[in-house]
Amino acid sequence: MNAAVAIKVLGIEVKYKSLNVLDDLSFEVAEGEVTSIIGPNGSGKTTLLKTVDGILKPYRGSVYVDMKEVCRIPKKELAKLVGYVPQLVNLQQGIKVIDFVLTGRRPYVDLLPTKRDVDVALSKLRMVRADHLVGRDLNELSSGELQRVMIARALTSEPKVLLLDEPTSNLDLRFQVEVLGIVRELSKIGMTTLMALHDLTHAYRYSNKIIMINNGKIFAVGRPEEVLTEENIERVYGVKARVIQDVKAVITLDY
């Protein structure tokens, strides 16, 4: 039996003013699936994530999350449905980790967070192995710690889908693997994840499905071994690469 569809993107066109960035994009993400969006810089990955999160509105076409059309869901309800972690930004203000994570709980909080809100925030911090950071200031965290805290904040709204924009981009190898391991664990408990990734080896190893985009169009979509072919990589990135299927790795040959 096929899993339920968590995200459905149907023929979307997204523009910034007159610049057409996404062009007739369609795909589905099944519940519990990890889907990676790959493609060169400027190909439209961030724009796509922002459109699924409702920050950008498609000029044509529709996005559905949990069978509901995103642009028709009230903001507060949408925040309960979709957790979005933008690309790592520098947060300089002296805000405590717990208070920051609790801001993810906003759609449920009337005036002040209740014990239940705090318990949820703490359990999400535990889930990403960051509960020891609860009393620290955000600006005292390493990039790896901050990325985990950002994910905990997104999870605190108890979303159906998690959107991650290059969650490993500023991290050293160990933290990259750790963050992707968390994504995999979340998937095992039913979380649907759509993330932009640069590292093709990571995309190969951690995704159920890959969407390869180029110039705002889908170039290929399917299982990692179907999408990550040497030919596709050369055509989209202009780089010769070798795909090593038995260890699920992509290496470049231009050096």
Ligand X SMILES: Nc1ncnc2c1ncn2[C@@H]1O[C@H](COP(=O)(O)OP(=O)(O)O)[C@@H](O)[C@H]1O
Question: Hey, what amino acid is at 86?
Answer: P
Q: Residues 250, 48, 103, 69: is their CA dihedral positive or negative? A: negative
- Which range of residues in 1-9, 34-42, 130-138, 234-242 is near ligand X by CB under 6 A? 34-42
Please provide residue 201's backbone torsions phi and psi, each rounded to the nearest 5 degrees: -65, -45
221: β partners: 211
Q: Which of 35, 46, 51, 193 binds ligand X (CB under 6 A)?
A: 46
- Inter-residue contact 149 to 125 (CB < 8 Å): yes
Q: Taking Cα atoms as reference points, which of 29, 28, 34, 35 lies closest to residue 10?
A: 28
Please provide residue 216's backbone torsions phi and psi, each rounded to the nearest 5 degrees: 75, 10
- Which range of residues in 44-52, 135-143, 168-176, 221-229 is near ligand X by CB under 6 A? 44-52
**Residue 65 CB-density burial (10 A; 0-12 exposed, 13-18 middle, 19+ buried):** buried
Q: Within 10 A of 2 (CB to CB), how many other CB atoms are there?
A: 7
Contact map string, positions 47 to 66, toward ligand X, x by CB under 6 A = x-------------------
The residues in 126-155 that bind Mg ion, with binding defined as CB under 5 A, are none
Q: Which residues contact 1 (CB under 8 A, 6 or more apart)?
A: none
| Least distance in angstroms from the C-beta of 39 to ligand X | 6
| Least distance in angstroms from the C-beta of 196 to Mg ion | 6
187 near Mg ion, judged by CB under 5 A: no
Q: Within 10 A of 241 (CB to CB), how many other CB atoms are there?
A: 20
Helix (H) or strand (E) holding 198: none
Q: Which of 16, 67, 75, 238 binds ligand X (CB under 6 A)?
A: 16
| Least distance in angstroms from the C-beta of 165 to Mg ion | 6
44 near ligand X, judged by CB under 6 A: yes
Q: Which is nearer to Mg ion, 36 or 156 (CB)?
A: 36
Q: Taking Cα atoms as reference points, which of 213, 205, 189, 201 lies closest to residue 242?
A: 201
| Least distance in angstroms from the C-beta of 55 to ligand X | 10
| Least distance in angstroms from the C-beta of 21 to ligand X | 4
137 secondary structure, DSSP code = B
Site size for ligand X (CB under 6 A): 11
Q: Which of 45, 105, 124, 148 binds ligand X (CB under 6 A)?
A: 45
Q: Which of 21, 138, 141, 163 binds ligand X (CB under 6 A)?
A: 21
- Which range of residues in 40-48, 73-81, 94-102, 221-229 is near ligand X by CB under 6 A? 40-48
46 near Mg ion, judged by CB under 5 A: yes
> Which stretches of 72-156 are assigned E, i.e. beta strand?
82-85
Q: Which is nearer to Mg ion, 48 or 146 (CB)?
A: 48
Residues that bind ligand X (CB under 6 A): 16, 19, 21, 39, 41-47
Residues that bind Mg ion (CB under 5 A): 45-46
